[in-house]
């Protein structure tokens, strides 16, 4: 075999690269978990079978088919309640950052929404906080326990609202950078 050039079918290689398991029950369970249990096992099996039991392709097919029915929640940033524009915090200090937000849509938010850290500087170990479902036009405050960096400087972290199924909505939070003295 030494010195032989072997041409492998790229399609075959792609199928093998997606093959983490061949257990159909495991694939159905994983499909359901990733969709937040929006689809029953028979529906999951349909999309998986349609895509030769390729989980990634099945999820893409599901969203291609269901995307007109997906209602994206609406959210508007109202104001900074704590740590607003021009304010600074001493280094290595615990603080609570609070934003005021509004459900600016015509429908209540689905259960299980949260505010998630999505990038930039992270202030502490909190990656997400659960947010209660807001009714249309309802306003609420969302708070995150944070700790300022140990070195003085300008820092900024971004947070976004997210549904239980991983769909981000609204804009990024942190309209101004934080200055740490």
Do residue 145 and residue 169 come from a single domain?
yes
Nearest to 136 by CA among 158, 165, 177, 107: 107
Whether the pLDDT of residue 80 is over 60: the answer is: yes
Do residue 33 and residue 115 come from a single domain?
no
Whether the pLDDT of residue 26 is over 60: the answer is: yes
Q: Is residue 48 included in any domain, yes or no?
A: yes
Do residue 80 and residue 42 come from a single domain?
no
Do residue 166 and residue 90 come from a single domain?
yes
Do residue 136 and residue 175 come from a single domain?
yes
How confident is the model over 31-46, as a mean pLDDT? 80
Whether this prediction's pTM lies above 0.75 is answered by no
List the beta bridge partners of residue 161: 115, 169
Do residue 175 and residue 122 come from a single domain?
yes
Last residue of a domain, one of 49, 66, 83: 66
Spatial separation of the C-alpha atoms in residues 40 and 172, rounded to whole Å: 33
How confident is the model over 20-27, as a mean pLDDT? 78
Whether the pLDDT of residue 38 is over 80: the answer is: no
How confident is the model over 38-56, as a mean pLDDT? 86
Compute the mean pLDDT over every residue in the chain, rounded to the nearest whole number.
81
Do residue 59 and residue 84 come from a single domain?
no
Do residue 123 and residue 175 come from a single domain?
yes
Whether the pLDDT of residue 166 is over 60: the answer is: yes
| One-character DSSP codes across 63-117 | HHHHGGGPPPP--EEEEESSS-TT-EE-TT-EEEEEEEEE--SSSPPPTT-EEEE
Give the model's confidence band at 176: pLDDT under 50 very low, under 70 low, under 90 confident, else very high: very low
Number of structural domains the chain divides into? 2
Whether the pLDDT of residue 69 is over 70: the answer is: no
> What CATH number does residue 129 fall under?
2.60.40.10
Do residue 54 and residue 27 come from a single domain?
yes
Give 157 or 9, the one with higher predicted confidence: 157
Q: Is residue 5 included in any domain, yes or no?
A: no
Do residue 80 and residue 33 come from a single domain?
no
Do residue 55 and residue 82 come from a single domain?
no
**176: helix, coil or strand?**
coil
How confident is the model over 149-168, as a mean pLDDT? 86
How confident is the model over 144-163, as a mean pLDDT? 88
How confident is the model over 135-145, as a mean pLDDT? 96
Q: Which two three-digit tokens encode residue 119?
A: 């990038």
Q: At how many degrees (to 10) do helices 24-34 and 41-50 cross?
A: 110
Position 134 scores a pLDDT of 96
Q: Is residue 87 included in any domain, yes or no?
A: yes
Q: Is residue 4 included in any domain, yes or no?
A: no
Position 16 scores a pLDDT of 43
* Portion of the chain with pLDDT greater than 90, in percent: 28
Last residue of a domain, one of 66, 96, 112: 66
Position 178 scores a pLDDT of 57
Query: Which range marks the domain in which residue 20 is found?
Result: 10-66
Position 8 scores a pLDDT of 46
């Amino acid at each position: 075999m030494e010195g032989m050039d072997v041409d492998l079918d790229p399609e075959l290689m792609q199928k093998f690269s997606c093959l983490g398991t061949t257990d159909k029950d495991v694939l159905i369970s994983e499909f359901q978990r990733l969709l937040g249990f929006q689809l029953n096992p028979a529906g999951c099996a349909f999309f998986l079978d349609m895509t030769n039991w390729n989980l990634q392709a099945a999820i893409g097919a599901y969203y291609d088919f269901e995307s007109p029915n997906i209602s994206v929640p609406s959210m508007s940033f109202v104001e900074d309640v704590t740590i607003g524009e021009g304010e600074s915090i001493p280094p290595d200090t615990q603080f609570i950052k609070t934003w005021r937000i509004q459900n600016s849509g015509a429908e209540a938010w689905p259960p299980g929404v949260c505010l998630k850290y999505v990038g930039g500087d992270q202030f502490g170990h909190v990656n997400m906080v659960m947010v209660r479902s807001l009714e249309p036009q309802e306003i609420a405050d969302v708070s995150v326990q944070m700790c300022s960096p140990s070195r003085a400087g300008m820092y900024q972290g971004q947070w976004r609202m997210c549904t239980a199924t991983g769909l981000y909505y609204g804009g990024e939070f942190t309209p101004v950078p934080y200055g740490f003295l």
